[in-house]
């Protein structure tokens, strides 16, 4: 592979190892600090059951954040992420158990539409923020038509899997570890991952090297759709029903997790491990605020303060390097 196929290098004075260490280290420190506060308030949380409760809702957010990460890797942003997850929960609760073939066909069409909108953004040079905002209304409207009110039933095997208690660590932690490792190997360590990152950082160089940007963008958006689909499936397994409005916060929380984990809106700079840790951090923030008895109406703002504080720390550390 020639240098032309590689993503843009970080500027001098900020080595890649330091950028990666900061991307993972700061959200990890924030996660550890929040865990320490929770365990100080409630020592009984230091148990298998306690960690299961603390991270129970982290799995859907991890997949939603990784989906957003792929889109950000291309230099775009996806404002339809949460609405898509909500539609997946409705389709799952209505069709996956009684008519699995119908559900699979709908899922395939949804992923194809996801890839199609990604191509539309590229081929027509449209702002991703506008196109995906329009997509969010399409996903939400379709979900409301299918399921006007929360209802339906999750398949027993899906609920059973999300309630499974594997050895040593709770299921959400195992899933987060697996997602982080697979994402790191695919995006950060593989040669094809370098091409994908290069498509966001230096698309002209990738095209001159003989790669099809149309094919790359279609594949990346389709993969983002698959991850958002996994987010919806796991969320349905946890809630045992479908709801069109169950995941609107996932859109901005996913963006926050990507940036918290070292990603950049310029494209080509993402960290799968950092994104997973960022998603766990933001998921745990809700539990921390509940332990601190912060009123629900204040919790969104408090989560924003936590996110801002960690991002400010990352900027201070990297600027001093």
CB-based contact 133:79 (threshold 8 Å): yes
The confidence band for 32, taking pLDDT boundaries of 50, 70 and 90, is confident
Report pLDDT digits (tens) over 47-91.
Answer: 888 888 888 889 999 999 999 999 999 999 999 999 999 999 999
pLDDT (mean) for 147-156: 92
pLDDT level of residue 133 (50, 70, 90 thresholds) = very high
Q: Say how far apart CA 189 and CA 192 lie, in whole Å.
A: 9
Instruction: Give strand pairing partners of 2.
Output: none
pLDDT in tens, 86-109: 999 999 999 999 999 999 999 999
Rounded CA-CA distance 264/121 in Å is 19
The per-residue pLDDT for 10 is 46
Burial 254-279 (b: 16+ CB within 10 A, else e): bbbbbbbbbbbeebbbbbbbbbbbbb
Give the bridge partners for 242, in sequence order. Answer: 151
pLDDT at 21: 66
Cβ atoms 64, 253 nearer than 8 A: yes
For residue 319, what pLDDT is reported?
59
Give the whole-angstrom CA distance, residue 274 versus residue 272.
Answer: 5
Q: What is the DSSP letter of 8?
A: P
Between 146 and 11, the higher pLDDT residue: 146
State the residue for tokens 């799952």: 92
């Amino acid at each position: 592979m020639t240098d032309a196929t590689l993503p843009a290098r970080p500027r001098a004075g900020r080595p890649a190892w330091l950028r990666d260490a900061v991307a993972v280290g700061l959200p990890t420190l924030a996660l550890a600090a929040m865990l320490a506060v929770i365990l100080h308030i409630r020592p009984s949380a230091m148990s298998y059951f306690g960690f299961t409760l603390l991270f129970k809702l982290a799995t859907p957010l991890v997949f939603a954040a990784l989906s957003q990460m792929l889109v950000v890797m291309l230099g775009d942003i996806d404002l339809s992420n949460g609405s898509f997850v909500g539609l997946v929960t409705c389709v799952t609760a209505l069709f996956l158990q009684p008519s699995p073939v119908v559900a699979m066909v709908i899922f395939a069409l949804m992923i194809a539409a996801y890839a199609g909108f990604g191509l539309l953004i590229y081929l027509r040079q449209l702002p991703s923020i506008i196109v995906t905002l329009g997509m969010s209304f399409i996903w939400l409207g379709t979900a409301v038509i299918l399921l006007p009110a929360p209802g339906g039933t999750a398949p027993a095997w899906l609920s059973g899997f999300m309630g499974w208690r594997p050895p040593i660590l709770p299921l959400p932690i195992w899933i987060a570890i697996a997602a982080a490792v697979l994402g790191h190997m695919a995006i950060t360590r593989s040669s094809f991952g370098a091409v994908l990152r290069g498509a966001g950082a230096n698309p002209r160089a990738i095209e001159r090297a003989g790669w099809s940007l149309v094919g790359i963008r279609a594949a990346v958006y389709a993969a983002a759709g698959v991850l958002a689909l996994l987010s919806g499936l796991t969320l349905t397994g946890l809630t045992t029903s479908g709801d069109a409005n169950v995941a609107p916060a996932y859109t901005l929380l996913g963006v926050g997790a990507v940036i918290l984990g070292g990603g950049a809106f310029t494209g080509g700079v993402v960290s799968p491990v950092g994104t997973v840790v960022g998603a766990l951090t933001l998921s745990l923030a809700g539990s921390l605020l509940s332990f601190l008895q912060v009123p629900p109406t204040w919790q969104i703002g408090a989560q924003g303060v936590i996110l801002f504080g960690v991002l400010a720390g990352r900027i201070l550390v990297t600027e001093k390097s």
